[in-house]
Amino acid sequence: MEITPRDLKQVVVFQNATDDDLQLILKNSLTRLAEEGEFFFFQGDNAQFLYVLASGQVKLMQSNPNGQQVNLRTISPWQMFGALGVVRAGATYPASALALVDSAALTIKSGFLHSMMETRPYLSFDLMKLMTSYIHEMQARYRELATERVEQRVANALLRLTAQMGIKSEKDTGIELSFSRQDVAEMTGTTLYTVSRLLSEWERNGIIATGRERIKILKPHDLVSIANGMKK
């Protein structure tokens, strides 16, 4: 898969880069492929590389010593992930990166991008913008866990995913999400049983439709009402 400087301009951290800088980044990077179910890296590995997803979909998930998993974020094309080693020497990945479908990512050495940041302030500022957006998202999810009912949390998660990576269906007006019920449970800090019960109820009410590893949003405005505590 050939990646061009124009492609990299879609990455938040590289949006202000010059063509020469983008060519330099491409010259010092490799494209790595991961089939569905393979990992780009594991939690606890040395963060020697950062990644830019070029195609596919990747789930960042964190596990505790008992094996329980939390879905931290789902990465879509032209988003950067695994960049902690750029800002902290000796860092390890705080999560594992699992390819949900066949995926390709640009792989860049953390030390190389760190050296570029020393002479290119735009990289530091734009990386800070990216990190800030992640912090805001985590704060919102923490607030939801602490203050909202489970149906609100699930509705908010589906709305957030729709905004980030929803694909409009070619067959009808629905918006498709390639996520399983287990994925949604991990995102919202609840059980698979609870998510299944809620999604089944919403499907009966015509708000969503579900399939294998798929959720289709049919009435997003109804989900907004549920997220705001106005239960349907």
What pLDDT is stored for residue 213 in this prediction?
79
Q: What is the mean pLDDT of residues 175-194?
A: 86
Q: Is the pLDDT of residue 67 over 80?
A: no
Residue 172 in this model has a pLDDT that exceeds 60: no
> What's residue 136's pLDDT?
85
Mean pLDDT of the chain: 89
Domain range annotation of the chain: 5-144, 150-227
pLDDT at 232 over 60: no
- Is the model's pLDDT at 148 over the cut of 60? yes
Integer-rounded Cα radius of gyration of the chain: 19
- pLDDT of res. 166: 56
With a cut of 90, say whether residue 63 has pLDDT above it: no
What's the predicted TM-score (pTM) here? 0.74
AA identity, residue 178:
S
Cβ(175)–Cβ(215) below 8 Å: no
Can you tell me the mean pLDDT for 124-151?
85
The whole-number pLDDT of residue 135 equals 86
Predicted confidence (pLDDT) at residue 105 exceeds the cutoff of 70 = yes
The domain defined by 150-227 folds into Arc Repressor Mutant, subunit A (1.10.10)
Overall CATH class of domain 5-144: mainly beta
Convert the pLDDT of each residue in 8-52 to its tens digit.
999 999 999 999 999 999 999 999 999 999 999 999 999 999 999
Instruction: Give the pLDDT confidence score for residue 64 in this predicted structure.
Output: 78
- Which pLDDT does position 9 carry in this prediction? 94
Q: Measuring CA to CA, how many Å separate 62 from each of 65, 76, 94, 138, 176?
A: 10, 18, 7, 14, 25
What is the pLDDT, as a whole number, of residue 40? 97
Query: Which pLDDT score is estimated for 144?
Result: 80
Residue, of 126 and 186, whose pLDDT is higher:
126
CA angle 131, 79, 196 (to 5 degrees): 90
149's torsion region: left (phi>0), alpha (psi -120 to 50) or beta? beta
